[in-house]
Amino acid sequence: MMEKDSKVYIAGHKGLLGSSLLRNLKKEGYNNLVFRTRGELDLRDQAATDDFFKEEKPDYVFLAAARVGGIKANIDYPGEFIYDNLQIQVNVIKSSQKNNVKKLVNFGSNCIYPVSAPQPFKECYLLTGPVEPTNEPYAVAKLAGIKLCQAFNEQYGTEFISVIPASLFGPNDNFDPEKSHLVPAMIRKFHMGKKKGEDVTLWGTGKPRREIMYVDDAAEACIYLMKNYTDSTPINVGFGYDFSITEIADIIKKVIGFHGGIGFDTSKPDGIEAKLLDSKKINELGWKPKVSLEKGVQKTYRWFLENVR
């Protein structure tokens, strides 16, 4: 059981999910938290990662460090997406095993499910078919991380679990127009459109459906799973409902107060048609999300106004 004084390492504590884990762990009274910035520790460096684990000897690990991005970033940098994520996972998971970490939570992604799998995605659908081509390198790396955890549990008796969250958004998200995911990209576009009095153009047709979840809900779920889940089978963490891209855009423009026109560039890819998760397993364990999409967008936009220029 993760005690309040257990040493907990959050890999990726500056990122979207990692920063939320840090906030929520502090809120729950955990006071022995360990973290390093990317400048202090490059998790792609095997020797440096191993030295860190030997020195700090964390009891519990949240592996939230990753190279992430939207469709454009995945298309532009496939080599970096597969290499960086493989390196980070291999180094952190192996160092955790070598240094007797009691439990590790590894994070997958909803894009790792086969493109042809039925909706909603059940955990048993993993590896039953090819994934969406626009993010295949990233998805393959994330699948490898899950398999690495399972293999180590089988061979070494470790307790490394894998969580598959819905698409996340919230404070500390990446709002870079070249690298951001759906919600932060829309927030920035609608904000700039409102500021300049210009219309906004979105990628694709607006028809694909996406399940998106406020990041603090996901962080609370992952802390809950650290305490209550031990199975090697990956577990979905979702909001339980999906929205079309057009519906998401309507909610975000309402929150921001954007009154211009919205166009769609159908020459750009849509990505997978839908990726709703079946979260029955975690719901039956006693966890459900609390923050609605509109409320989450309101919180995120406030953070954007205060922190992004």
Comparing CA positions, the residue from 125, 133, 92 lying closest to residue 9 is 92
What is the separation, in whole angstroms, between the first and last Cα of the chain?
Answer: 42
Q: What is the DSSP letter of 274?
A: B
Token pair in block for residue 294: 């509109």
State the amino acid at position 121 in one-letter form: F
The DSSP result for 105-156, as a single string, is EEE--GGGS-TTSPSSBPGGGTTSSPPPGGGHHHHHHHHHHHHHHHHHHHHH
3-state secondary structure (DSSP) of residue 41:
coil
Residue 83: active-site member = no
Strands (E), the chain: 8-11, 33-34, 60-63, 103-107, 160-165, 167-169, 200-203, 209-210, 212-214, 235-237, 243-244, 262-265
Catalytic member of 30, 113, 138, 214: 138
- Annotated active-site positions, please? 138
